[in-house]
Structure 1
Amino acid sequence: MSQLETILQKFFGHTSFREGQKEIIDDVMIGNDVLGVLPTGSGKSICYQIPAMLAEGTVIVISPLLSLMEDQVKQLKATGFKDVVAINSFVQEMERSQIFHELSSYKLIYLSPEMIQNKRLLTQLNHMKISLFVIDEAHCISQWGHEFRPDYLKLKEVIAFLNAPPVLALTATATPEVQDDIMNQLERMNMNKHIYAMDRENITFSVQYCNNTKEKLVFISDTLQKFPVPTMIYFSSKKEAEAIASHLHYQLPNLRVAFYHGGMDSMDRVLIQQQFMAGQLDIVCCTSAFGMGINKTNVRLIIHYHIPTQIESFIQEVGRAGRDGLSSVSVVLYAPYDEMLPKRLIDSELPTVEQVKSLYHFFDNKFQAKQTAINEQEIMVAFDLNEIQWRFIKFQFEKYEILKDNHIMSIYEKKNVLVPAIEQLIHNRYQEKLAKLNQMVNWIHQQGCRRRTLFQPFQSTIKEPTFYCCDSCDFQFEQWSPVVDIEKTNTEDWRTSLAHLFDQQIMHSDC
């Protein structure tokens, strides 16, 4: 048994690597830059966790998924690997100072893209040996990626400041165009590419056409009564996730149902996550906030009550199913005018030109009054901006040197350049997002093989399905015989906790 396999078995309990893992590890261990595209649920994290255990120096992992960081740190420490830490907004100031004091003792450091901009942290990292710089969810660095984050564009300068260590960029969803853009943005065009097929052969694809929401509810209730399997139901609305969970809670008394979304108290979110992982919940009605880092192997059914805004998100969410290789199904529920909600979500992701102009004038006046420091929360409230919109504007203002380190810089006549440029950018980004939504809607309505059409933008071939392919080729729910392995653990703890959640008033907005 090789050293890699020994570590794999000792710390992760596996006797062999999954497709792509060993190839990527071998490449990064000899100092190569690597771009890895592996399907959701394929164990991408092992590609940098094992090098962190073996290499001299420290491995840095940049991830936007704060809960995933925390989970991976806990899991690694439970295996006996203690030299790991996550630094993000969850960490209190006193604890953060202690971590900074002991920074050089860690072999693996998880950081949010915002935290890596911290000057004190960067200065300390600059004096350490960084053996590998990992960018998880690397599609976020691409303007063509489905979750583009401006903060990721700053990583190129961070890498240079840290003495240009080898880079490992990982993602589960990247078209060839996005792959090229990732390498271009990092200015590392010679990265060794390890690209693996994204389709999972044990997942079957289906679309259920409904006339209205009532028919959606009937379908869900009937399906879950017939197939009482671990299920995730995805919603684009927090309020609707709560309402449907409450409905199913009483409609299906033999099944344990809960809701999950980013607007919930953190303790309630942890409760739901732990109960689902432990098999004490059967159905979770959730938004996209749920799923990242949920390595539950026996999820059999993924239902999309609302259609996602793009194919990439859909593929990632479907990838939560069937990680044990057994037969699992994805079903999208579609009713007339279902496109309206994702269109509203797209509208909410970009600022208006009027907001950009108002902010420009506000900053100009503040600069003239020599009041250059800004408070981000106050600005978001005053100009009715959500976090995504503010992030977009802030990056552009920093790009045009109107903002630096949360201070307003000299503006002069930059308005004539900045406002038209941002207006054009908003228009282009909006059209790109609409095109992605149309791609999703077209997939729902197309008549051919759903598997082939779904993965066509990402790969030239598809795998032979292990069970059923899709409802266009060979699948009918009446034929499905999933493994039903729900363990009923009717403890008072989960009943009491869930009753408390359902008794709370619905106080969240639709999106």
Structure 2
Amino acid sequence: MCESLEKKLYQHFGFSSFRQGQREIIKDVLAGRDVLGILPTGVGKSLCFQLPAKCLSGTTIVISPLISLMVDQVKQLKAKGFKDAVAINSLMDIKQRSLSLQHLHRYSLIYLSPEMLQNPWMEKRLKQLKVDLLVIDEAHCISQWGHEFRTDYLKIGEAAENLGHPPVLALSATATPEVQKDIKHQLGLPLMKEHIYKMDKPNISLCVEKCEDPEEKLERIMRVLRAQTSPTMIYFSSRQTAEGVTEQLKQRLDQRIAFYHGGMEPMDRLLVQQQFMNDQLDVVCCTNAFGMGVDKPNIRRVIHYHFPTQLESYIQEIGRAGRDGLHCASLVLYTPTDHHLPLRLIQSELPEEADVNNLFRYLQSENELKENTLVEKLELSESQWNFLKYQLEQHRISNNDQSEAKVMIIEQLKERWYYKNRKFKEMLDWIHYDGCRREKLYAPFQEGYNSPEVPCCDYCGASIEDLSAASSREPALQEEQWPARLKAIFLQEPLNG
């Protein structure tokens, strides 16, 4: 236990005081309690495990959803002098990964994906360590992604048992009471100490506008971007549309614009992210693959060309704006037919009941489950197969209990269909709501909301044009500029002391 948390905070991170919720969570973590922390985006959730990692004598393992997120955090920590941190991921070359594994005991903070945590050789190596804390960063992913897309999230509780039951810290910025309950259930920790804080941003204006067609959307976006050049994220549900709109905006606007989605090469994605972080891009047209690892303080606008399938995703995405506390704005554009795309996305995530029946027919006719053949034969997406594969693993099916297992899997499938459609209806209801959008948006998550410090929403009279923050665009470093810039850097007056 650290004798003085404030002293350690200043010593390791240079901060003189804690932000909302940080001290309370850290105190319980250091006392060995299992903790669920829900804190607003931008408050500094990472400190809630980075400081304990400095105080505890053993190893802290952090489960992170994105490679870019864990790599950025380790990079920032090392820049602050926190050298004993490492992110082990699939982008490391074999020699680098092998060296890190050999010296794993030297690190006090180890970042892993949920998939890497399940790797047999990683599990074996971690068992040789004294694990003092297991952290699940962005813990809503357990509930949001775990059931279909990334089922290894549902195995974290089992992994914790294999590591000797270390205290668990689950952190998120967006989790309804329902999701909080699911997180605790999936981790097998129903008695977690809860630190739940209001997640709304008082410095963001919320605007929704109806358009007749995609062309009107594009025209509206161009008017907004022309009005002020400032860091902007535009969200799409389609990779193809993100690329197409990017090209049209680049042709018609004098701004630095790029696209980002999961179909790009990893290094290309990393380049776009770093350019945006360093104010070398004004606008990123992206899918939901972008954003979770972006800790950029001066994003002024988040525009949704397509709206997401649930309110949680929307809150996460707008949470990336205004981390500096200054005025920021969200603009959602929709047409009368926009609901078709998110419905197709939901359909691509879950199998049909017919797929379950076909799966069991295949199991009865084949002695061995050939995964690649089966996925191709049943024409399943990766997410659909992940759902079925996880269910098969859970039921450990033998020839004697296939009928009972099939009934249970179909029942689970129906529950997930119902859940996803209910979440989508919440999103639609909010878009078409004729009342205060802030009040409606946060009602499923918390009681009440913080008084807005800026114009509230379009119902309350706000407009995206109300955004008054000054442009933060830095001019590109032209050839004739760099000697003067370099001279200025080296001729600065030295700091006293």
Q: Same fold (TM over 0.5)?
A: yes
Which residue of the partner structure matches residue 394 of structure 1? Answer: 389
Determine if the alignment matches structure 1 residue 116 to structure 2 residue 117: yes
2:147 and 2:153 map into 1 onto residues whose CA distance is 13
1:138 and 1:144 map into 2 onto residues whose CA distance is 10
1:98 and 1:353 map into 2 onto residues whose CA distance is 47
- Counting only pairs closer than 5 Å after superposition, residues 250-261 of structure 1 correspond to structure 2 as 250-253=251-254, 255-261=255-261
Letter in 2 for 1:460: E
Q: Using the TM superposition, name which of 293-302 and 38-47 deviates more.
A: 38-47
Q: Using the TM superposition, name which of 89-98 and 57-66 deviates more.
A: 89-98
1:295 Cα offset (Å): 0.7
1:434 and 1:489 map into 2 onto residues whose CA distance is 46
1:107 and 1:238 map into 2 onto residues whose CA distance is 39
Determine if the alignment matches structure 1 residue 424 to structure 2 residue 411: yes
1:412 Cα offset (Å): 1.1
SS of 1:270's partner is: helix
- Counting only pairs closer than 5 Å after superposition, residues 77-476 of structure 1 correspond to structure 2 as 77-142=78-143, 149-253=150-254, 255-367=255-367, 371=368, 374=370, 376-377=371-372, 379-402=374-397, 411-476=398-463
1:130 Cα offset (Å): 1.0
Letter in 2 for 1:453: K
Change (3 A) 1:478 1:329: closer
Q: Using the TM superposition, name which of 164-173 and 326-335 deviates more.
A: 164-173
SS of 1:168's partner is: strand
The question of whether the paired residues in 2 share the 8 Å contact of 1:140 and 1:147 is answered with no
SS of 1:44's partner is: coil
Change (3 A) 1:230 1:2: farther
Please provide the CA RMSD for this pair: 2.2
2:405 and 2:316 map into 1 onto residues whose CA distance is 35
1:186 Cα offset (Å): 2.5
Report % sequence identity. 52
1:281 and 1:170 map into 2 onto residues whose CA distance is 30
1:9 and 1:260 map into 2 onto residues whose CA distance is 37
The question of whether the paired residues in 2 share the 8 Å contact of 1:140 and 1:148 is answered with no
The question of whether the paired residues in 1 share the 8 Å contact of 2:19 and 2:43 is answered with yes
Q: Using the TM superposition, name which of 160-169 and 285-294 deviates more.
A: 160-169
SS of 1:114's partner is: helix
SS of 2:308's partner is: coil
2:188 and 2:70 map into 1 onto residues whose CA distance is 27
SS of 1:483's partner is: coil
Which residue of the partner structure matches residue 495 of structure 2? Answer: none
1:145 and 1:378 map into 2 onto residues whose CA distance is 24
2:17 and 2:166 map into 1 onto residues whose CA distance is 29
Q: Using the TM superposition, name which of 195-204 and 59-68 deviates more.
A: 59-68
The question of whether the paired residues in 2 share the 8 Å contact of 1:37 and 1:196 is answered with yes
SS of 2:244's partner is: helix
Deviation sequence 1:71-95 (CA, Å, 0-9, x none): 1122212222121122233334443
1:359 Cα offset (Å): 3.3
Letter in 1 for 2:132: S
Deviation sequence 1:394-446 (CA, Å, 0-9, x none): 100101114xxxxxxxx314331222322222222112111111111110111
1:366 Cα offset (Å): 4.0
Letter in 1 for 2:333: L
1:330 Cα offset (Å): 0.3
2:294 and 2:375 map into 1 onto residues whose CA distance is 32
Deviation sequence 1:183-219 (CA, Å, 0-9, x none): 2333323221110100010011000111111111111
Q: Unaligned 5+ residue runs, structure 2? A: 480-497
1:145 Cα offset (Å): 8.5
SS of 1:437's partner is: helix
2:33 and 2:419 map into 1 onto residues whose CA distance is 33
The question of whether the paired residues in 2 share the 8 Å contact of 1:139 and 1:145 is answered with no
Q: Unaligned 5+ residue runs, structure 1? A: 403-410, 493-511
Letter in 2 for 1:113: P
Change (3 A) 1:478 1:293: closer
Determine if the alignment matches structure 1 residue 48 to structure 2 residue 49: yes
The question of whether the paired residues in 2 share the 8 Å contact of 1:212 and 1:335 is answered with yes
1:142 Cα offset (Å): 3.5
Letter in 1 for 2:212: N
Letter in 1 for 2:278: A
The question of whether the paired residues in 2 share the 8 Å contact of 1:145 and 1:174 is answered with no
Deviation sequence 1:135-175 (CA, Å, 0-9, x none): 12222334798987432222222212211111111111111
Which residue of the partner structure matches residue 24 of structure 2? Answer: 23
1:391 Cα offset (Å): 1.3
Aligned residues: 478
The question of whether the paired residues in 2 share the 8 Å contact of 1:205 and 1:329 is answered with yes
SS of 2:302's partner is: strand
1:123 and 1:165 map into 2 onto residues whose CA distance is 16
Deviation sequence 1:327-374 (CA, Å, 0-9, x none): 00001001111100000000000123333333334444442xxx56x4
The question of whether the paired residues in 2 share the 8 Å contact of 1:206 and 1:332 is answered with yes
The question of whether the paired residues in 1 share the 8 Å contact of 2:146 and 2:154 is answered with no
1:309 Cα offset (Å): 0.3
Change (3 A) 1:168 1:414: same
1:106 and 1:380 map into 2 onto residues whose CA distance is 40
- The two structures have a TM-score, normalised by structure 1, of 0.88
The question of whether the paired residues in 2 share the 8 Å contact of 1:146 and 1:312 is answered with no
1:106 Cα offset (Å): 1.2
Deviation sequence 1:45-78 (CA, Å, 0-9, x none): 1111111112110001112222211211222122
1:183 and 1:258 map into 2 onto residues whose CA distance is 39
- The two structures have a TM-score, normalised by structure 2, of 0.91
Q: Using the TM superposition, name which of 84-93 and 157-166 deviates more.
A: 84-93
- 2:473 corresponds, among 478, 486, 492, to 486
1:168 and 1:76 map into 2 onto residues whose CA distance is 19
SS of 2:189's partner is: coil
Deviation sequence 1:363-396 (CA, Å, 0-9, x none): 44442xxx56x4x555444443222122111100
The question of whether the paired residues in 1 share the 8 Å contact of 2:53 and 2:108 is answered with yes
The question of whether the paired residues in 2 share the 8 Å contact of 1:232 and 1:283 is answered with yes
Change (3 A) 1:416 1:352: same
